[in-house]
Amino acid sequence: MTALMFIAVIVIGYLLGSIPFGLIISKRFAKTDVREVGSGKIGMTNVLRVAGKKAAATSLILDILKGLLAVILAGLIFKDTKDTVAAVLTLNESAQILAGFAAIAGHSWSIFLKFKGGRGVATFMGGLAALYWPAALLGGICIFGIGIRTKYMSLGSLIGAVTAFIMLMSFYVCKVELFQPYPPFEYVLYAMTGAFFIWFMHRDNILRLFNGTERKIGDESTEKISPSTDTPK
């Protein structure tokens, strides 16, 4: 029974994450396939280039909700489960982080887009908000603060993800409570793995940042991506 419950939260999380809101919204607002323009990704930054601020904000909120709902639903499914998986892992928290990871995977490799999609930053932060909102708030402030200041949202995403992880790790080690009990180990694991994943998915952006060729926020792009070279993430 427990195994089926885990399978359920993973499947639900993946399917939620797979909903390509960026693609749907860009077609609705700009009659454009966001995968064929700019970076080819379906996340907020590319939607902003293609369809404008309102579309980008809508896409961002919905992508956050994918991670948020996946984690909340997993928590509800395992609400009364108290058994331990290992010495430091409980079934409830383990199910929540698995659901969060599944939602990120769905966003990045959507079953509806031939296993392509976005980079997973907003969905990661949505899951983190459901787990430990102070870390998600701090990470979000870093993402948008640095992104707007430098005009490089990719740089903000990289630093914001690491900052959220550092906060969680610090609070876990020092047993700090900020508006809610200090985070369990599972939440730290989610933030650490998520930060590594985001850095991996931004590896092309990192190279462009070092080369000075990274796209800036608000850069309009009408450059079409060739189907033979399209590698959206």
Report how many domains make up the chain: 1
Report the amino acid identity of residue 223.
E
Whether 233 maps to a domain, the answer reads no
Q: Are 147 and 153 in contact (CB under 8 A)?
A: yes
Both tokens of 63, joined, read 């992508």
Whether 223 maps to a domain, the answer reads no
Whether 18 maps to a domain, the answer reads yes
Whether 217 maps to a domain, the answer reads no
Whether 225 maps to a domain, the answer reads no
Residues of the chain with pLDDT under 70: 80-89, 218-233
Whether 24 maps to a domain, the answer reads yes
Largest Cα–Cα distance in the chain? 54
pLDDT in tens, 20-39: 999 999 999 999 999 998 88
pTM of the shown model: 0.89
Measured between alpha carbons, how far is residue 123 from residues 31, 87, 200, 222 in Å? 24, 29, 15, 26
| pLDDT value, residue 47 | 94
| pLDDT value, residue 232 | 35
Q: Look at residues 127, 125, 106 and name the one whose alpha carbon lies nearest to residue 117.
A: 106
| pLDDT value, residue 137 | 96
**DSSP track, 83-99:** -BSSSS-BHHHHHHHHH
Task: Round the CA-based radius of gyration of the chain to a whole number and report it.
Answer: 18
pLDDT in tens, 157-188: 999 999 999 999 999 999 988 788 888 999 99
Whether 230 maps to a domain, the answer reads no
| pLDDT value, residue 42 | 94
In whole angstroms, give the CA distance from residue 105 to residue 123: 9
Q: Whole domain around residue 37: which residue ranges?
A: 2-211
Whether 227 maps to a domain, the answer reads no
In whole angstroms, give the CA distance from residue 195 to residue 197: 5
